[in-house]
Each structure stands twice: as structure tokens, then as C-alpha cells.
Structure 1
């Protein structure tokens, strides 16, 4: 079976990844053409189309899209879970003879897909609930002490890293083995190879201006109602979807703690900060990836690489 051509398009929020992916898919055209595969940790959830800037109906008509809005907000999506879903999608695209364009801003997702994953078991829901209850009952400091007693390698985790500490507790509770036992096992890559990759990295002032404009547009386009609906579900605040940009800021607005201008200013500030963290990650962890300042330049560079058969 022929391997799918696989293209990776990464970058910070508001950098133009989605438009680049769509333009590339349209340029490749033909049958079966290209499929865009989501690599954004928040765009997997169906609850927040506006706040996560998920592709709209028109974009989805223009090109096939996978892994967008596929999970309910009550679910958790780890890098491992996403990578397995993405690998399965790419395999299906291979069978169709198409091109997979993996686009998003979650660097850990790209790493998991390319470099593989340690075989850490997923804990069942009841174990996750027990971990959450144990963390609440003991408090963060005592909970960390319990985790470190089970797995001394977790002493590297600070008390504030509740997510990783709970994950370690869950694995030990589910398997009787420390999470470090699984982490030491060699990861297995989930895809065979990549034909082209690029990080879209606009100048900082341009990127920040786009972040500000996007935040303002979201509030005008229904983000407040979208967040209100999500908050109204009464989901666990520790769930990933509840940490999406805009949820906390709009919650402050709905509670009367912030007025609209203050909520917008805070959302803009937090969006810029998030973009900065993404830039830092890609510069440190994906320094070998080619760069482009614009979506147009990214598409041109990728098409050139594909034409030359380069990875």
C-alpha cells in the first residue's frame, strides 16, 4: 500500500495555519486530493467552534477536514490519544491515495505523531475520578508526597503540576506499576515519514496585532454565547476544554467581575501570551523545521518541496 504524502504545518495562534492548509489542499486538488487533519488541542472539541477558531462550514466544503470537533467537552484528549487518532486518519488517507495536511499549533501533538509514544496505559474513567477525589481530599502537597512514594522518579514534578501528578497516580492505581516504568520504554513512531514540514512564524508585532483582532472578532461573532453554553454544562473545571482561551475571561464577564472592555483586553493579553509560549516551544523544540512568515510563503515552500520530493 502506498504511503500517504504527509505535510505538517505548525505555528502559533493567528499565524495563518488554517488558511495555509486550506490553500495547499485547494492547490493540490485532484482526486482524491488532500485532507486537512487537525493538530490543535482545543479544536478537537465540538463545544467551542468560535473560541478555538475552528474551520467554518465553507472551509469544510472546500476541502476534507478530520479531527475537528470530534470530541465532547466532557472528554479528555491527551497528546497520546490525539496521535493515535491522527495516525489512524493518515492511514485511511493513505488507503485513499490522498495527501494528509496536518495543521495546528500544539507542538506536543506533532512530536507525539513523529517520534512516537511511550506505551503508557490509559486509566479508566473511574480511576481518573478517584485520582481527582484523592487530590482534593489530601491537598496538593500531600498528594504529591503520595505519588513520589509510589514512584520516586516523580520527585522532579513540582507540587503545582497537578495534571502530571494525577496522571502518575492514575497509572499506578490502574496497573500497579509506576508511570516511569512505562516512560523508560522506547517510543514507537506512529507514521512512516513526512514529505514536508513548516512553521509559520510572522513578525512578532504582526502576530500580536492578529491576536488582538481575532479576540475582538470572536466576541462579536458569538463567543460569549458559546462560552455561556459550555459553562452552563457544569463540567469539571479541570477538563481541558474548560481551560481554552476565552472561557475564563468570558466567565468573568458573565459573573459581573469584568465589563466587556476589560474581558476583551484580558482575552487579548492572554492570547498574545499564549502565542509567545507557542513561538518559544517551536523555536526550542522544532528548530530544524523550515520557517515562513506568511501563509502564502508557507504554501509556496511546501509545494516546492513536494515537487522536489524532499522531506
Structure 2
């Protein structure tokens, strides 16, 4: 009788994940890797999905998009909400399409929820009824995010402890889940995830410049956005008369530029406030990547400026991908 060959495993297909805080240089690195590896750059930034926000979210330029295939940038209008589940579905489709075309999928972004959902699957949270969601948004608008954070802490202290008191989008999400299901979102997230992509092998790296360097880049980039037309972009967004609770209306820099346009802030105050909030956000992102992706290769993209350094780095990444596929197979 023939020997039992043992359990079979699906073939593994490589995916390179490039994470990091805003203004870290990860998009430029992803483009350089795509150029060298015949790759497709797939967006994992929750604000760069909005078509109306090219400048204020520092989306890749048209020249960058022409240099290598890019996917999931500017795919929905600001009037829509893009959930992690919807993004994940589209990202998996783009990854499969890249593999079918013989290209390497390179997923790049700083939205930890998107990256975690892609690599680890989704929590089995039921769909939230529209009226419950609207009630949660109305409550946040009425009492403000810090007060909602305090209320959340009384019923879901685990989630409240890891959310910033001004993170309105995630506070609303945590509140609506509790109201709709009677169970904290932290409990749902602790359940075994579903739809883990067993056919994919993820190799991860995190772009992590020194903090002082990163903060300086954040400040310079906001000034560059103003020079490139961010004020006109936000004015066009305001002209749509959208719900202020929509994610696109809360993108970094949008509320401050809106206040400048409407005369509620002077230019110096709007600029300084937006820069400070961007630095705060970058700090939270660094904490997330440090805690949630501890095994990722860490580097400062600026260290790869020389061709020799980049070639050595590229060879290491390719070797790691091969090792990961062999290990998982």
C-alpha cells in the first residue's frame, strides 16, 4: 500500500507588505521595489482611497502612477465610506490579479486595520443596522469625541484604552458595535478571525525613520501640500456639502484647512495645528507597527539612497520571500 503523503497545502504566493507612519518614505520605497521586481503597488491607506483627496493625502503623483502599476488609489468618492472589509475584498482581488499577470503585489500603507485584516483575516462582527450607525454618529456629533471616549471606557475599557480620545471614526465604530450586538468590539476582535488567506505568504517590512527626522518630514510635507493646491482641494470638498462625519472630511489637514477657508483659523494657526496633529498621528502609527508587526524588517528608506545599499536590501527581501514560502509550504 502506498505511503500516506500527508496533508496537502495550497500553493503559496508571495506578497510584500510595506508599512510605516505617514511621511516615512514608504510610498517611494514601494515604487522603487515595484520597478525592480516588476511589481504592482496596492494602496493600504484608508484616506488615499478617496478620489477627491489626492493632494491632502499625498497620493502618488501621476508620474509615479505611470512608472509602475498602482491599484486602489482614488477609487471611491468622498461621499462614501470605505470599510476595512470592503477594502480587503478589493485588495485580495488586486493581489490575485497581480499574481495572474506574473507580477509581485506590493501592499503599501499606514492604516494598521487594513493591513491586519488582510494578513490575519476579519473578526466576525455582524453588519450594523443603518439606524444604529446613524445614532452613533449623531451622539459623537452632539457630545464630542472625548466624551464618547469616556462613555466607551465604561462599557469597553479594553478598546477605550487603545483608542485616542479624538479618534472619532474608531470611537463611533466601537460604540455602534456595542449598541448593535451587546458585545464589545474588543471581544469580537479576540475571537479567531475568519477568511485567513492561506494561499498567500506575506513578507513584511516597516519604514521607520528616527522620530525627529519623521516629525520634520511631516511638517515639511504639509507645507508642500499647501503649495501644491491643498487649499483648493479642500474648498472643492466643502463645495459638495458632505456630512462632516464622513471619513474623508476628517482626513489629516482637512478640518484645519476648512477652518482657514471659512475664517475660523488664521493661516499660521491652521498650519501649526495640522502639523501637530500629523505628528501625533505618526507617533500612534509607530506604536502600532512596533506592537503589531514586531517581526517585520525595519529600516529608514533614506538609508537606501545609494544603488549599492538598495541592491543589497532588495536581494535580502527576495531571499526572505523565498524562505517564507518554503517555510509555509
Q: Report the TM-score when normalising by structure 1.
A: 0.83
Say which of 73, 96, 102 aligns to 2:101: 96
- Residues 14 and 299 of structure 1: CA distance in aligned 2, closer, same or farther (over 3 Å): farther
The equivalent residue for 1:305 is: 317
Deviation at 1:200, TM superposition (A): 0.8
Cα displacement string for residues 48-94 of structure 1 (whole angstroms, at most 9, x for unaligned residues): 10000001111111111111111111222232332222122212222
CA distance in 2, matches of 1:145, 1:52: 30
- Residues 192 and 179 of structure 1: CA distance in aligned 2, closer, same or farther (over 3 Å): farther
Residue 22 (1) aligns with residue 44 (2): no
Q: Assess if the C-alpha contact under 8 Å between 2:48 and 2:57 holds in 1.
A: yes
CA distance in 2, matches of 1:264, 1:135: 26
- Residues 172 and 223 of structure 1: CA distance in aligned 2, closer, same or farther (over 3 Å): same
The equivalent residue for 2:75 is: 70
The equivalent residue for 1:218 is: 225
Deviation at 1:115, TM superposition (A): 1.1
The equivalent residue for 2:52 is: 47
Deviation at 1:129, TM superposition (A): 3.2
Counterpart secondary structure, 2:107: strand
Deviation at 1:229, TM superposition (A): 1.2
Q: Assess if the C-alpha contact under 8 Å between 1:23 and 1:299 holds in 2.
A: no
Q: What's the Cα RMSD here? A: 3.3
- Residues 137 and 255 of structure 1: CA distance in aligned 2, closer, same or farther (over 3 Å): closer
CA distance in 2, matches of 1:212, 1:143: 30
Counterpart secondary structure, 2:201: coil
Q: Assess if the C-alpha contact under 8 Å between 2:26 and 2:301 holds in 1.
A: no
- Residues 232 and 198 of structure 1: CA distance in aligned 2, closer, same or farther (over 3 Å): same
Gaps of 5+ in 1: none
- Residues 185 and 310 of structure 1: CA distance in aligned 2, closer, same or farther (over 3 Å): same
Q: Assess if the C-alpha contact under 8 Å between 1:195 and 1:306 holds in 2.
A: no
- Residues 74 and 289 of structure 1: CA distance in aligned 2, closer, same or farther (over 3 Å): same
Residue 115 (1) aligns with residue 124 (2): no
The equivalent residue for 1:285 is: 292
